[in-house]
Structure 1
Amino acid sequence: MTNQRTVSPHRRAWLQLALGATALGLSGCGFALRKAPTFAFDTLRLQGMEGTQVSRELRDALQANGIRVLTSSTPATGPGAQTGQAILTVLTDQRERVVVGQTAAGQVRELQLRTRFVFRLRTPTDKILIDDVELLLERDISFNETQVLAKDAEEQLLYRDMRSDIVQQVVRRLAAVKSL
């Protein structure tokens, strides 16, 4: 014996009407899924702290969106290959680990993980497109010395999530630039 549910044609019509009304309501309020970003430039020079994890992930994200990313290791061939249409300068890219909670005996109980990323965007003629922007993300993590390996893995996971979040924020800010 199979357990199949059949829906009457009358009930199916009501369900379709309800789904259509919901879709119409969402589109009327301005709701739309986030689309792939569009940029005012095709080529970007990435300079300063190119070897950090955030910079590498940012370079990969921009290339995935169709931007040609130049670095100090990129060979200079073709017009504009030296500078690119825009120059993204990474001023600060650092990770911090701060003790925020201790027991009366001085044992660490809570840590705060921070990722700080500071950048600016300009044209090769030094026109500022995005002035210095500091992105600071913080995550709290409990600590237990008997679970050091698990807490280390959790810490690395939180840093990776913060890194991805920063990359997405930078990409959205770069896409907000409408003209050079």
Structure 2
Amino acid sequence: MNPRPASRSPDLPAVVPRRAVWTALAGAGLFVMAGGLGGCGFALRQAPNFAFSSLRVAVYVGTPVSRALQRELAASGIQVVNTAAVAGQPPVQVVLEVLLDQRERAVVGQTASGQIRELQLRTRFRYRLSTPSGKRLIEETEMLLERDISFTETGALAKAAEEQLMFNDMQGDIVQQVMRRLAAVKSL
């Protein structure tokens, strides 16, 4: 004998599915976590604010990192000039002297037979920032990024492409670091 299930009384509430309960709890948890992150000072990285609106790049103007930095500064609303002051042109507020922009490739590992197994790629960038009158805002600073890469003779063309990608990645890292340091200058 199977007892028949009792029919539900119209005054009893419907049973809430477990999925709906878990979804509501997860949403409440995310809301609490978001409030906690905002209260601790967490904020997404904002576009940099600069204390200057015009900049002249001096010395190494056409090197890869220097050109990428000029593009990034221009995209941030900074007027970038790479020539000396011309009559009738408003003076720039700061001068960025690019003292060194160098890419290096060094062998760091070889097999017993002398074949190259590992390379180290380096990008050096040295610069300083000053006002046109000569006041130093950022002293001479050198940045050095290094990346290791394995190497095989059979995949030399593929490795050359990988090297170029790694150099471009290091270039982007240096540009972002310099941008943050330039934005850290608060007064001229």
TM-aligned CA deviation for residue 25 of structure 1:
1.6
Report how far residue 171 of structure 1 moved.
0.4
AA at the equivalent of 2:24? A
1:40 is aligned to 2:51: yes
Deviation at 1:28, TM superposition (A): 2.0
Aligned with 2:143 (options 131, 135, 142): 135
Residue 105 of structure 1 and its aligned partner are, at CA, apart by 1.0
The corresponding residue for 1:103 is 111
Q: 1:76 to 1:107 in 2, by over 3 A?
A: farther
TM-score when scaled to structure 2?
Answer: 0.86
Matched residue SS, 2:163:
helix
Residue number among 59, 62, 69 corresponding to 2:73 in the alignment: 62
2:6 — aligned with what?
none
1:126 aligns with 2:134: yes
Report deviation, 1:10. 4.0
Q: Given the alignment of the two structures, is residue 150 of structure 1 paired with residue 161 of structure 2, yes or no?
A: no
Equivalent-residue separation in structure 2 for 1:74 and 1:60 (angstroms): 20
Structure 1 gaps of 5+ residues are 1-5
**Aligned-residue RMSD, C-alpha:** 1.8
1:91 and 2:88 matched: no
Q: Which residue pairs with 2:175 in the alignment?
A: 167
The TM-score with structure 1 as length reference comes to 0.90
For 1:177 and 1:106, the matched residues in 2 are separated by 49
> Size of the alignment, in residue pairs?
172
**Identity in percent:** 59
1:52 partner letter: T
* Cα distance in 2, alignment partners of residues 8 and 150 from structure 1: 50
